[in-house]
């Protein structure tokens, strides 16, 4: 997970991160059909991390 976060934050292309976020949201929507709370929680966390990465990109 940490490696992926580093990869996301080091990626120079904001569009790439936005696409990543879009994929995550679609993934979350498909996951919600399974009603697995742990999985949903992880996906939510992942989306929040991605949004944080986007914000840090915009701010810097």
**Number of CB atoms found within 10 A of residue 5's CB:** 14
Q: pLDDT at position 15, please?
A: 75
Confidence label for 51 from pLDDT (cuts 50, 70 and 90): confident
Domain coverage including residue 29? 2-59
Rounded Cα distance, 60 and 38, in Å: 33
Q: How many domains, in total, are found in the chain?
A: 1
Rounded Cα distance, 52 and 33, in Å: 26
pLDDT digit string, tens, across residues 3-45: 555 655 555 576 777 787 788 888 877 877 777 788 778 878 8
Confidence label for 52 from pLDDT (cuts 50, 70 and 90): confident
Rounded Cα distance, 17 and 7, in Å: 10
Rounded Cα distance, 34 and 15, in Å: 30
Q: What's this model's pTM, rounded to 2 decimal places? A: 0.47
DSSP 11: -
Rounded Cα distance, 16 and 47, in Å: 14
């Amino acid at each position: 997970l940490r490696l992926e976060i580093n990869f996301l934050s080091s990626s120079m292309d904001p569009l790439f991160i936005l696409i990543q976020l879009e994929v995550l949201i679609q993934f979350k929507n498909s996951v919600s059909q399974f009603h697995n709370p742990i999985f949903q929680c992880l996906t939510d966390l992942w989306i929040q991390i991605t949004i944080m990465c986007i914000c840090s990109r915009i701010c810097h």
